[in-house]
Amino acid sequence: MSDSLPARAYFLACDPEGGPVSRRSNAALLVRAAAVTDLVLRGNLRDQRGHAEPTGAAPTGDLLLDDLLADVRAHRPGSWRALLRRGKNDTLQSLETQLSAAGLLEEGTSSVLHRKVLVPSDPTRVRDAHARLDHALTSPLSEVDAPTAALAALAAASGAGMSRSDARHHADRLAELEKLAGPAVPALRKAVAGRRAARIAAFSGGSGG
């Protein structure tokens, strides 16, 4: 559970000092994309002419991933971008429920407004997630496995777990890692860009521009 791709994505999106998830909207996209990519790497999902298509592979046994597979079947045919955006907040909350039940998250208090938040029970998991990211960005490509490569590419595309400046600095390596990540990365970039454009349009409309 703690080493699934969605769980690793969650800890990567947490505050580096072991605090709660930063920028939940970005984290929700990252976790959803990580779950989708996990299914691709397991052989449960494939690309069929730009759409997410379930294969005949057996269920994974992971509640989060199998719920996602059921969602894909219920909305087929569907684009990768639509799959990432649909239900992303539910996926994030479901993962938090699983991680809490496993004792990997606990209740804490935010430094701002002192609200109740979920924080990693062991900050080492956050440090390990960032160490794996550094490994993907700096080690020989032959030493980086597909899940780690995918997560690095997804973090850069989502804006969660990696800063824009780091993404620009490692652009060439990320392009290589993306080849191992599957169709979720370009779809994620489109989803983030679409959301950013919608925010700009809403701001311009509200300001009378």
pLDDT digits (tens, 9 = 90+) for 130-166: 999 999 999 999 999 999 999 999 999 888 999 999 9
pLDDT band at 199 (very low <50, low <70, confident <90, very high): low
Task: Quote the pLDDT of residue 191.
Answer: 76
Give the pLDDT score at 200.
45
Strand, coil or helix: 5: helix
174, two tokens:
């990320």
173's tokens? 């390596």
Residue 65 has pLDDT above 50, yes or no: yes
Percentage of the chain beyond pLDDT 90 is 59
Q: How far apart are CA 6 and CA 36, in angstroms?
A: 9
Q: What is the pLDDT of residues 31-57, one digit of tens each?
A: 999 999 999 999 999 988 888 999 989
**Would you say 118 and 107 are in contact if contact means Cβ atoms under 8 Å apart?**
yes
Cross-strand pairs, 45:
54
pTM: 0.88
Amino acid occupying residue 139:
S
Task: For 84-137, write each residue's pLDDT tens digit.
Answer: 888 999 999 999 999 999 999 999 877 666 788 999 999 999 999 999 999 999
Cis (ω within 30 of 0) for the bond into 77? yes
Residue 160 CA from chain centroid, whole number: 8
Tell which wins on pLDDT, 192 or 31: 31
Q: Is the pLDDT of residue 202 over 60?
A: no
Query: Contact 184/40 with Cβ under 8 angstroms?
Result: yes
